Structure 1
Amino acid sequence: MRMDSYGPSILATTILFLVLGVLVVSLRYYTRVVIRNTIGHDDFLILLSLGLYIVMASLLFVGVQRGIGQHKKEMKTGDIVESSKYVWFTVLIYINAVTAVKASYATCLLRLTEASPCAYALWTGLSINVILCFIASFYLIFNCRPISYAWRQGDSSVDGYCNYDSADALGYAWAGLSLALYLLFTLIPVALVWNMQMHIKTKTFVVTVLGLGLFAGVACAVRIGVYAVDLDYTDPLYSISPMLIWSVVEAGLGIVASCIATLRPLLRHYNIQGLEEIELEGEDGHGEGGQGHFQPAYKMSTVSQILSKFTGHGAHTVTVIHQGSEATIPANGQIKERKTYNISTLQRTSADMQHEREMQGVAGKVPEPDDVNTGGW
């Protein structure tokens, strides 16, 4: 293989993200199946994404050996045809792989939105995602007559026709709408978190974890920039290689980003630090000891509250009674307000449990979180 070739770069990038993809998806399934004993639609979608990515990587491995990344003048006609076929199938698989990645990520976000404008926006984005995939796949498959002419046009002995008049427009539309969807799926966590009573550092952390998909959007933007600048139809197998590399990066980053936020239960299971419990601030924004500070008997983790649904925690609940600004278990006749929280987001202190024991005769025992078999979505 000559030095003036993109082949080594294609192989290195593909192998890197293949290893990362298999690793994070395996950890995700270990977390969901073994630790949480639950699995959701988003898990099947990300597994589909990984399967398509593996097919895509296999096509590139073989295609590079046949000539992808090399100059046309250095290749035989038979190798040009074979390499072009692998490029064609790679692009088709890429379209469906990134569609499945975005669908998986959006399905995860739907855990947090329930019935809200954000949920409607996500469903709209999912619909656009599927429609866009169908249009792009249909165009790629039926753009040339016969279909095989898409990769056999380098052979002068083969007759056929391809309509490339709208190819550039469709390529830009695909990239623009894909980038818009990545931005949508990044901004929705911001909208969900921004008005919550939590420290700015906590907001930044939650938004960063849930918005990692934006990196795949950046790769998509770079990809279309490369397409606009570098593509040369007189030397297609060489000039299309940077776009193939960024396609691999986009799909790989999408898989990794979609899985990272689901691994929190795994980190906690093995006591890996970094997701400490953080109390909610007071309603007026004062810190501890400030006027109006919210002092719950159950210390709620803000990060846990947001990420628990995303990571597939169960829906079992425990009721906490509020009196004034304090959350406690009051005597009969003093109940002012009832609020129900996800039990997986509550952590009791020793003082809280002592208070419970003292109040059992009045309000009854609140069940221990460890005694509840929390399921998942």
Structure 2
Amino acid sequence: MDATPSLHATWRTSRTRRLITGAGITAALAASVLLPVPARAITTETAATLTETQKKVEETAAAFDEANKNLEELQAKITDNEARIAELEEKLPDAQAKASRAMREMYKHSKGSNPLMSFVLNTQSLDEFISGMKYLDQVKDANIEALQELNDMQAELEAEKTKLSTAKAQAETEKQSAEEALSEAQSLREAAQAKADAEAAAELAALQQAAAEAAQNEAGSNTTPGNVTTPDNGAVSWDTDQASFIAEWAPRIDAYLAGSPLEGQGTTFANAAWKHGVDPRFSPAISNTESSKGRHCFLPYNAWGWGSSSWGSWEEAIDAHVAGLARGYGYTISVAGAKKYCPPNWFNWYNNTLSEMNRI
């Protein structure tokens, strides 16, 4: 990615450096700077798989969003169509009654005794007689035409209702398929990350051992660095739908961020995590390591010490940061990612961030 946290401002590096104390200083420096043996990184094959599965997650997430949008648009059309049908059905009885009355009057008139003579006797002129007959025909025709128009419109709307219902059923099927594809891609991404984590764990073990030996040689004592653990990938389940995922993680993240500038952004973090296939605890925890949950941002809405980026809102910033983690750092925290995110003090950065993740 173009803007990586390795380009952090000096204040950020200094702040993290102050977090290292005691034997951790020697161990961290030995592990990241003084070791003569190069560290083992994840294999090229695993890195390629991570890239491929991340791309799949992004593609399927976009397809799911599109399917969901299509379904919402269809539902809006169905609602409008049903409202129009209801309106016509409300008008139809009155129109039918009006037409029936007109036809009954015409029938009674036609069955009366010598209707022509009646018209002649009750009209003053032939023109008036002709106008009267035309008026009666127009009343009948107008009522029948109005009734026919209502019937035709209702039939058209009913046909549209059937068409929309069929389209909605298809859209729901497409949404379900898209959601399943996204879930599968996320699972593959998680499996690839687990493999990368296993490789990173082996790297970490070697680094810790080497750091401990370096510390002992330098200090002439039995001092060893503190324990470093690997993340629990089983803490996040992707075997669920988006709504259930958000319902589980948004409140947990909100509780973690309570009282901070990021308070209330749990749903934003959870949605971004689902969309990009990232551990939902990852970005919130980094915000604590880098800025005390947004209290000390060196650029607008940049709570993560993220290069030279700034944003116009927390929502925009959170989505961008989680997307950047997915592309550049993987599904969750790792030693390799910590060394990339915070090269000078990766050891302490890793421990602090993972500790915060475990609190969420």
Taking structure 1 as the reference length, what is the TM-score of the superposition?
A: 0.23
- The structure with the largest strand share of the pair is 1
Bigger radius of gyration: 2
Taking structure 2 as the reference length, what is the TM-score of the superposition?
A: 0.24
